[in-house]
Amino acid sequence: MKKRNIAVIGECMIELTKKNNGLSQGFGGDTLNTAVYLARQVAPSELNVEYVTALGTDSFSSEMINAWQQENVGTMLVQRLENKLPGLYLIETDAQGERTFLYWRNDAAARFWLESEHAGKICQQLTHYDYLYLSGISLAILSPQSRETLMALLVTCRKNGGKVIFDNNFRPRLWSSPTAARTAYQAILACTDLAFLTLDDEKLLWGDTCIEQVITRTHAVGVSEIVLKRGAESCVVSRYQQPLIDVPAIRLAANRIVDTTAAGDSFSAGYLAIRLTGGSAEDAARRGHLTASTVIQHRGAIIPLSAMPA
């Protein structure tokens, strides 16, 4: 199998986590989490993982880039913008491992990656990638004009034989209105090949009340493979006009669940690690469950490499 290239598009922020009576610093962001966990599970000889974003020229941004490179996540498409900084978020985790996020991101560099002088050249490169991966957050942080530019990029990539992978990750507070969100999601789903969805997000966005509604509506706009992530419940995979695949989650005792940050992001990475290297959807879902169940037993978005499943 020839080496493939995937570009993961989005935002990475400085992560602060409350720990004991202080704070620990790291980094995270939905798409970056997926990029790191994907790169950890696929040999570089099989899949090249590039991250696409914008950062500042500050020391925190430099630390992020160095850390990503150590994870085999490529940074040649990461822009450094003067007078901009990365966003920041604080995680508060309760006794059950559920977390609350506080964000400082309104003027973050990543919002402007499609408005820089180098954006055109980067977009041209991306049209020739085998896979483009992005999330609802990747869309939400952009201006309406940048969103249109991104949609055009996705369409061109598909015309060139590439595939688009989309994780819904719907965050209402990032959108100016429900209508704006629905318009953007409808447009991107129309040029998506593989969609990672959750019933909770689909309820918020479209008012769907059951799995069947989600699957029917999503296939109707042209998505050929749907992965419905359901947390501690089984994952449901629907490929167009094929039988549903239902893969049970890995059950953990409540006291082993430390932090659910990046659970969904890491599931997507595990799924793609198998699927993009020729594996079946069922095996991919199993790997997704294994990855997510490992990640939630540790604090923070990115767990130590030594803790990854074999």
- Active-site annotation holds for 265: yes
Q: Given 130, 201, 259, 265, which residue is catalytic?
A: 265
- Determine the Cα–Cα distance for residues 303 and 294; give it in Å rounded to an integer: 9
- Determine the Cα–Cα distance for residues 55 and 104; give it in Å rounded to an integer: 14
Residue with tokens 């493939």: 4
String of DSSP letters for the chain: ---EEEEEES--EEEEEEETTEEEEEEE-HHHHHHHHHHHHS-TTTEEEEEEEEE-SSHHHHHHHHHHHHTTEE-TTEEE-TT-B--EEEEEE-TTS-EEEEEE-TTBGGGGTTSSTTHHHHHHHHTT-SEEEEEHHHHHTS-HHHHHHHHHHHHHHHHTT-EEEEE----GGGSS-HHHHHHHHHHHHTT-SEEEEEHHHHHHHH---SHHHHHHHHHHTT-SEEEEE-TTS-EEEEETTS--EEEPPPP--GGG----TTHHHHHHHHHHHHHTTT--HHHHHHHHHHHHHHHTTSSSSS--GGGS--
- The total of other beta-carbon atoms located within 10 Å of residue 138's CB is 26
Q: Cα 220 to chain center, whole Å?
A: 23
Would you please indicate which residues are annotated as catalytic (active-site) residues?
A: 265
